[in-house]
């Protein structure tokens, strides 16, 4: 896949280098597997493979930053102060999109939204949002019990896979007595309840 330079001012190889510099080997390998799944999903759903590639490669770009750095970005950009009550799992999506914009100069709103929504989803998700959300869940390294089911579903029915993933994630959080981010409930109500 060859980049047009419309969304990132460089080649794919240059973006890979920027991402690799900020991530541990295991997370960089995850990101490259998410890109592979995202490009495949983009081709199946008539979405730009270039945008899918870029969004996938940067979706976890900020995941290894400190809490102090996220808090500083939240304050500097006057983001919702309620974010301060949450942690890395929420910050690396919503605040991560801001960090990607600031550090990598990626400004396409669809790519930034796909990063922001990749962990908890949203009631309304574009095809690109859905692709990154699902690719993150079904990439070839995922080996939880239902991963193969989720993978087959993803390549047959993208919306069905968003629904499956949303329900699966919420069930996991409930079963482990983990706090649920309120926006995750809104995603559940839109994509799972009554379907």
Smallest distance, ligand GDP to C-beta of residue 9, A: 25
Closest to ligand GDP by CB, 154 vs 184, is 184
Alpha helices by DSSP H, the chain: 12-20, 25-44, 49-58, 67-76, 88-104, 109-116, 127-138, 147-156, 158-175, 182-191
| Candidate ranges 55-63, 65-73, 108-116, 176-184; the one touching Fe ion (CB under 5 A) | 55-63
Residue 35 binds Fe ion, judged by CB under 5 A: no
SS3 68: helix
Give the DSSP letter string of 71-86. Answer: HHHHHHTT--GGGGGS
Distance CA 8, CA 6 (A): 6
Q: Cα separation of 35 and 87, whole Å? A: 25
Applying CB under 5 A, among 136, 158, 161, 168 the residue interacting with Fe ion is 136
60 binds Fe ion (CB under 5 A): yes
Chain residues in the site for ligand GDP (CB under 6 A): 60, 63, 89, 118-120, 136, 169, 173, 178-181, 184
Which partner in Fe ion, ligand GDP, none is near 130 (CB below 5 to 8 A by kind)?
A: none
Closest approach of ligand GDP to the CB of residue 2, in Å: 26
Residue 50 sits in the site that holds Fe ion (CB under 5 A) = no
**CA separation (Å) from 144 to 96, 150, 172?**
26, 10, 11
Q: Which residue is nearest to ligand GDP (CB)?
A: 89
Residues that bind Fe ion (CB under 5 A): 60, 136
């Amino acid at each position: 896949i060859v980049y047009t330079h419309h969304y990132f001012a460089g080649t794919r190889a240059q973006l890979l280098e920027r991402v690799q510099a900020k991530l541990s080997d295991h997370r960089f390998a995850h990101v490259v597997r998410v890109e592979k799944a995202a490009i495949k999903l983009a081709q199946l759903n008539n979405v730009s493979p270039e945008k899918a590639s870029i969004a996938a490669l940067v979706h976890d770009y900020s995941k290894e930053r400190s809490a102090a750095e996220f808090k500083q970005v939240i304050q500097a950009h006057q983001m919702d102060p309620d974010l301060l009550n949450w942690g890395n799992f929420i910050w690396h999506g919503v605040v991560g999109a801001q960090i990607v914009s600031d550090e990598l100069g990626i400004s396409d709103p669809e790519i930034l939204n796909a990063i922001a929504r990749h962990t908890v989803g949203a009631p309304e998700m574009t095809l690109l949002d859905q692709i990154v959300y699902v690719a993150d869940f079904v990439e070839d390294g995922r080996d939880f019990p239902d991963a193969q089911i989720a993978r087959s579903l993803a390549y047959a029915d993208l919306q069905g896979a968003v629904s499956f993933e949303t329900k699966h994630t919420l069930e996991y959080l409930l079963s482990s007595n983990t706090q649920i981010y309120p926006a995750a409930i809104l995603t559940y109500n839109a994509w799972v309840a009554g379907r």
